[in-house]
Amino acid sequence: MKQNRREFITTMAAAGAAIPFTKFRLTDTTNPPEKKYPVRLFSKPIDAFDFGFMCECLNRSGIEGFDLTVRPGGKVVPEKVEEDLPRLAAEAKKYNLVIDMMVTAILSPDDPYAENILKTAASSGVTHYRLGWAEYDNEKGILGTLQEYKHALTGIAGLNRKYKIHGGYQNHAGARIGGPVWDLYELLKDLPPENIGCQYDVRHAMVEGANSWVLGMKLLAPYIKTLAIKDFTWQTVKGKPAAVTVPMGEGMVNWDLYFKTLIELNIKAPMTLHVEYPLFTKAEENYPLARKQDIIVAKFKKDMDFLNGYLSKYGLA
Listing DSSP states for 71-84 in one string gives STTSSB-GGGHHHH
Q: Which residue has the higher pLDDT, 202 or 19?
A: 202
- Over residues 147-163, the mean pLDDT reads 97
* Mean pLDDT for the chain overall: 91
Listing DSSP states for 282-303 in one string gives TTGGGS-HHHHHHHHHHHHHHH
Burial of 290-313, coded b for 16+ CB within 10 Å and e otherwise, reads eebbeebbebbbbbbebbbebbee
pLDDT at position 4 is: 43
Res. 93: pLDDT tops 50: yes
Answer for the pair 127, 101: CB distance below 8 angstroms, yes or no. Answer: yes
pLDDT at position 147 is: 94
Where do the H-state alpha helices sit in the chain? 5-17, 51-61, 81-94, 114-123, 141-163, 182-188, 202-208, 213-220, 255-265, 289-313
How many Cβ atoms are within 10 Å of 11's Cβ, its own excluded?
A: 11
Answer for the pair 115, 155: CB distance below 8 angstroms, yes or no. Answer: no
Listing DSSP states for 12-58 in one string gives HHHHHHTS---SS-------PPPPSS-EEEE-GGGTTS-HHHHHHHH
Residue whose C-alpha is closest to residue 269's, from 201, 171, 182, 180: 201
Answer for the pair 59, 50: CB distance below 8 angstroms, yes or no. Answer: no
User: Which residues, including other chains, have CB under 8 Å from residue 2's CB and lie 6 or more apart?
Assistant: none
Task: Give the CATH number of domain 32-313.
Answer: 3.20.20.150
- Over residues 291-303, the mean pLDDT reads 98
Q: How confident is the model at residue 26 (pLDDT cuts 50, 70, 90)?
A: very low
**pTM for the whole thing?**
0.88
pLDDT at position 31 is: 53
- Over residues 191-208, the mean pLDDT reads 97
- Over residues 130-153, the mean pLDDT reads 96
Res. 174: pLDDT tops 60: yes
Answer for the pair 178, 131: CB distance below 8 angstroms, yes or no. Answer: no
Residue whose C-alpha is closest to residue 64's, from 299, 272, 316: 272
The 10s digit of each residue's pLDDT in 216-257 is 999 999 999 999 999 999 999 999 999 999 999 999 999 999
Sign of the C-alpha dihedral computed for residues 246, 248, 233 and 206 taken in this order: positive
Res. 32: pLDDT tops 80: no
- Over residues 182-208, the mean pLDDT reads 96
| Domain range list for the chain | 32-313
- Over residues 160-189, the mean pLDDT reads 96
- Over residues 59-73, the mean pLDDT reads 98
Answer for the pair 125, 92: CB distance below 8 angstroms, yes or no. Answer: no
